Structure 1
Amino acid sequence: MNAKPELDEIQRNVLSRLRKIEGQIRGIQNMVSDGKECEDILIQVRAVRSALKSTTSLILKRYVSTCYDKTMEGGDPAEAKRKMDKTLQVLTNFIDG
C-alpha cells in the first residue's frame, strides 16, 4: 500500500489550517489594537488553541506514518528500534501538550 498520496493530502490540509490560524492570529492582533472586549478576544484565542490542537494531531499522524514507513524500509532490527524509539519520544512530548 502506497501511503504517499494520503501523506501529501495531510500535508496540504496542515498547510491550509496553518494559513487559517495565521489569519485568526492577525484578527486577534487587530482586536487587541482596536480595544475590543477581553471576552471576545479570549473566545478567539480559544478558537486558535483548538485549531492548533487539531493541526498538531494531523502533523503527528503524518510524522508517525512517515517514521513507520522509514522503519519498515531497512532490514536492521536495531536501526528499526532506534527509529521507533525516536518516534515514541516525539509522541510522548506532545501527549499532554
Structure 2
Amino acid sequence: MNDATEYLKQARVALIAFEPDKAEEMLRKFEAELQNHPLTEDAATRCTAELSAIRDLAASAREGVFAAQRQFQEILKLSRHLDGYDKTGKKTTEQVGPRSTRKF
C-alpha cells in the first residue's frame, strides 16, 4: 500500500480520536509524500475516498462547533434573567446577571 494513502488513513483516525495536531501532521506527511512519489491510479482512487471521508468529518465538526456556540449563547442569554410568578400569578422577571456592556 502506498505511504500517502496510509498517512490519510492515520489522519482520519486521528480526527475521529479528537487529535487534530496528529491529523495535521499526517496531512503534512501526505503532502510531502506526494511531492516525492506520484500516486498510481489505484492509489489516487483510495486517496480520493479517504480525503472525502476527512472532508465529511471536518464538516461535521464545524457544524458541531457552531451548534455548541449557539447553545452557549442561548444559555448565557437565558441565565441573565430569572422568570417567576408572584402571588397573583403575574409573571415577573428579575435581572440576575450583569448587563452586558456595549462599546461603540
Bin the TM-score by the shorter chain.
Answer: 0.3 to 0.5
TM, length-normalised to structure 2 = 0.43
Q: Identify which of structures 1 and 2 has the higher relative contact order when contacts are C-alpha pairs closer than 8 Å and 6+ apart.
A: 1
Q: Which has the larger radius of gyration?
A: 2
Please report the TM-score for the alignment, with normalisation by the length of structure 1: 0.45
